[in-house]
Structure 1
């Protein structure tokens, strides 16, 4: 009986390992569509439409930025209360690309996570009822002189207020940090498939702003465990999850359909019209 159980466990784990290997090969070997949209910047997309990534259809879009020379600069744009679509934020700030930012109060507006822009605090962290931090308040993307980096909560209560960078946005959870996968619990938020948004950093300094569409037959969406794998297979050694779900929007000014590259799910249609209004975004602007 013990031998039979061990054999079945071996077969199960072997099948899982095989499936993961197939998925990684499928993603890496896909004939990604690549388009230059600015200096040192490409828009890269692919629709896995044969239920061939995590046994489902998946639509992945990302902007990849080289971090050298005349590369674009990163900025944060945020509104204390008013909600706007990601394209609106992008156009108002003369950006050429934007991705939705961190979590926010859908009813009352404003981020529920700490956001600072050009040294000014736009929103403070709204802790849980027991004064504990939500999973998306334990990491941050920071921008100084147009350069983006990721940081991890140091377990102090006023961590974000002590960050010295002039531009800070809390979000999360971290998926990968300094080459190590971060531990994720098995809560529904992490485990279930949804549209997702993320930012990743590669060892060569390249940065990607990525969306995975979801809640559609054409794209199932991914769990955070699957999102971690996607970011890892794309070469990221650090990566952070942003607000996802209906907020997931990637905008590039040169793209058709009002610049919306992915298929936002808020209108429950497979088109580019369902962008949700959000409280903040990460922008890419040409270096002056």
Structure 2
């Protein structure tokens, strides 16, 4: 009997250790790291970027130089604070993606503000948190890091991705319909695989019952959209606090439609939702319950020189 108790204790300890390792392996231990050395990613502070910023007209909620124009406004809809950045670019190369620690890999994370500073960004929002998954297309700044398709959320096959092309136009595609390499060959520069798409060809593509997997209906949200090629909208909402309830996907789509987007896409939300501009976090991220703080993420979408 005494021996059985010893073996029971040993088994319990081993099971706990294994469970801990599985959790660490899934969510904490960095792996599959690839240094972001693609040629069109520019995270260095260049003489051109320094000169452009020095000559730019910058206010608390706007930035304008000869290539980039950004205006940020705050809306109050659905008992929620929503921060909207209207962006016009001379070239799509100023719309970029940044990786935590400048590295692609599972569980490689930094807060949005840190990645933005390291990327010499002017404006940034959190991306799709690709590192939380081991499938789903990942292309950043013309470099295809992952081309393994994932099954769509909620058990269907419609995993929707946002593709941004070198000429500046955006499209929402389904991974089961087109290979990542085909998208790259067609001129894609960025592919984000969170979703779902919110607006396609000017039409809202979610309804009042749409939601991402394991998510509450009202959440902090992050979205990106296109009015015309080189004219974009980035939107981030607060949520989960007494001051801001948060948005459903349908409400988020309506916000983007109200900004005249003909294409719009849902990025990672919840505690990840962060907008950063000119050295400051614009919104009030809630990464731990209702505590105001940034969550560490895999990647950002940003505007920079």
The normalised TM-score by structure 1 is: 0.70
Is the aligned partner of 1:284 residue 2:303? yes
Is the Cα–Cα contact under 8 Å of residues 75 and 143 in structure 1 kept in the other structure?
no
Rg (Cα) greater in structure? 2
Query: Aligned partners of 1:192 and 1:153: how far apart in 2?
Result: 24
Query: Aligned partners of 2:72 and 2:300: how far apart in 1?
Result: 20
SS state of the match for residue 96, structure 1?
Answer: strand
Q: What corresponds to 1:230 in structure 2?
A: 255
Q: Kindly provide the CA deviation profile for residues 143-180 of structure 1, in whole angstroms up to 9, marking residues without a partner as x.
A: 426x3523322742x53232022432223111111112
CA change 1:177–1:90 in 2 (3 A) is same
Query: Aligned partners of 1:128 and 1:179: how far apart in 2?
Result: 26
Q: Kindly provide the CA deviation profile for residues 218-257 of structure 1, in whole angstroms up to 9, marking residues without a partner as x.
A: 1111101111111111221211111101110111124xxx
Is the Cα–Cα contact under 8 Å of residues 101 and 243 in structure 1 kept in the other structure?
yes
CA change 1:188–1:182 in 2 (3 A) is closer
Count of aligned pairs between the two proteins: 235
CA change 1:148–1:264 in 2 (3 A) is farther
| Structure 1: gaps spanning 5 or more residues | 1-32
Q: What corresponds to 1:221 in structure 2?
A: 246
Range moving further from structure 2, 245-254 or 158-167: 158-167
Is the Cα–Cα contact under 8 Å of residues 84 and 235 in structure 2 kept in the other structure?
yes
CA change 1:183–1:270 in 2 (3 A) is closer
Q: Kindly provide the CA deviation profile for residues 83-107 of structure 1, in whole angstroms up to 9, marking residues without a partner as x.
A: 111111111111111111114455x
1:21-40 alignment, distance < 5 Å:
35-39=61-65, 40=68
Query: Aligned partners of 1:129 and 1:63: how far apart in 2?
Result: 29
Q: What corresponds to 2:166 in structure 1?
A: 144
Query: Aligned partners of 1:47 and 1:232: how far apart in 2?
Result: 14
Q: What corresponds to 2:225 in structure 1?
A: 200
Is the aligned partner of 1:98 residue 2:119? no
Is the aligned partner of 1:246 residue 2:266? no
Q: What corresponds to 1:42 in structure 2?
A: 70
The normalised TM-score by structure 2 is: 0.67
| Structure 2: gaps spanning 5 or more residues | 1-58
